[in-house]
Amino acid sequence: MKNLLLVLLALAAMPAAATLKVFATVPEWGALAQEIGGDQVQVFTATTALQDPHRIDAKPSLIARARSADLLLATGAELEVGWLPVVQREAGNNRIQSGQAGYFEAARYVAMLDIPARLDRADGDVHAGGNPHIQTDPRNFLKVGEALAQRMKELDPANAAGYDSRWRAFAERWRANLLRWEKAAAPLKGAAIITQHKAWTYMLDWLGMREVGTLEPKPGVEPTVAHLAQVRQQAASNHPRMVIRAAYNSARPAEWLSAEAKLPIVVLPFTVGGTPEAKDLTALFDDTVARLLVALK
């Protein structure tokens, strides 16, 4: 009897097993879920930093993972519109369908930018709700994280205290990081840049940088020779300091402009795992700011 009591006490003292299975569409939200969830979650991330998150195949392996998920964590704002609805439908998991508690869209919790005045497919990959690349502004992680922690507590009330304490600790560290990044990045304010894809709107808003040209003639449309020549002319009059592309973008358009306009190329991680240095959320922005400052000098 005494031995049984000791076993029961030992079991009670053990940390709760992982109970919440999270299906994250992109690395940044998978990393945030892990920060908040700790040992109480099992996180699967459907894409990598070297993939275009707009263009993913709804593979059977993704459907199988979604079938057992308790929480589907997406960017929303139509970022995953080309593949995620297929995964949801084929998984047959009622918990993660749109409108259910197990479906979470990060974009619902931030102020959206680049909201189009009109919707026309001739304008390229425009998104009715605004630019979906909200993860390039670290301030948005505080807004998304607070809502995500609350949703995790609702889905897994037995571990609510753990979610709450980890979120508070993360938010405190993140606010300190924001002050550090913003102090380091002060020289970037006002700097003119050319981007490859319209993916940096939120980062530019955060750092006060200016986009004076885009290598894609329209969002998601491959650059043409004529358009690149036009951007080269824009560069001559706007004096950009660098050309920026994400790790998953083709290198050729940026390399052409770099050679023609004598501009440094900055390959930014865009999300966790986009560069060898960007191993987690903090390192993502450490590396982003560092690379921009090197190009500025």
- Cα of 131 vs its chain's centroid, Å: 12
Angstrom CA distances, 58 to 14, 29, 73, 138, 145, stand at 38, 19, 16, 29, 27
Query: Helices 252-261 and 225-238: crossing angle, nearest 10°?
Result: 40
Q: What is the pLDDT of residue 118?
A: 61
Angle subtended at Cα 217 by Cα 260 and Cα 222, rounded to the nearest 5 degrees: 85
Region 33-52: mean pLDDT is 97
User: Is pLDDT at 10 greater than 50 in this prediction?
Assistant: no
Contact in structure between 110 and 77 (CB atoms under 8 Å): no
Tokens 């079991």 belong to residue: 11
Give the CA count within 13 Å in the CB-facing half-sphere of 221.
15
Other CB atoms within 10 A of residue 57 CB: 12
Q: Which residues pair with 265 in a beta bridge?
A: 243
Q: What is the distance between the alpha carbons of residues 170 and 175, in angstroms, rounded to a whole number?
A: 9
Q: What is the pLDDT of residue 219?
A: 76
Query: Helices 27-37 and 160-184: crossing angle, nearest 10°?
Result: 130
User: Is pLDDT at 127 greater than 70 in this prediction?
Assistant: no
User: Is pLDDT at 3 greater than 80 in this prediction?
Assistant: no
Q: What is the distance between the alpha carbons of residues 79 and 132, in angstroms, rounded to a whole number?
A: 6
> Of 106, 32, 22, which is closest to residue 271 (Cα–Cα)?
32
Q: What is the pLDDT of residue 231?
A: 83
pLDDT digits (tens, 9 = 90+) for 172-209: 999 999 999 999 999 999 999 999 989 999 999 999 99
Which phi and psi angles does 195 have, rounded to 5°?
-115, 160
Q: What is the pLDDT of residue 116?
A: 74
- Give, for 199, the enclosing helix (H) or strand (E): none
What average pLDDT does the chain have?
91
pLDDT digits (tens, 9 = 90+) for 234-271: 888 888 999 999 999 999 999 999 999 999 999 999 99
Q: What is the distance between the alpha carbons of residues 45 and 27, in angstroms, rounded to a whole number?
A: 6
Q: What is the distance between the alpha carbons of residues 45 and 245, in angstroms, rounded to a whole number?
A: 23
Q: What is the distance between the alpha carbons of residues 139 and 134, in angstroms, rounded to a whole number?
A: 9
Q: pLDDT band at 124, cuts 50/70/90?
A: low
List the domains of the chain with CATH numbers. 12-180 (3.40.50.1980), 186-296 (3.40.50.1980)
Other CB atoms within 10 A of residue 175 CB: 12
Say which range, 23-37, 93-107, 119-133, 158-172, has the weakest mean pLDDT.
119-133
Give me 212's structure tokens.
């004076």
User: Is pLDDT at 87 greater than 70 in this prediction?
Assistant: yes
Identify the sign of the CA torsion 202, 128, 56, 19: positive
Region 66-89: mean pLDDT is 97
User: Is pLDDT at 125 greater than 70 in this prediction?
Assistant: no
Region 30-36: mean pLDDT is 98
Angle subtended at Cα 173 by Cα 172 and Cα 178, rounded to the nearest 5 degrees: 100
Q: What is the pLDDT of residue 227?
A: 85
Query: Helices 281-296 and 160-184: crossing angle, nearest 10°?
Result: 10
Q: What is the pLDDT of residue 12?
A: 45
Q: What is the distance between the alpha carbons of residues 123 and 115, in angstroms, rounded to a whole number?
A: 13
Q: What is the pLDDT of residue 15?
A: 45
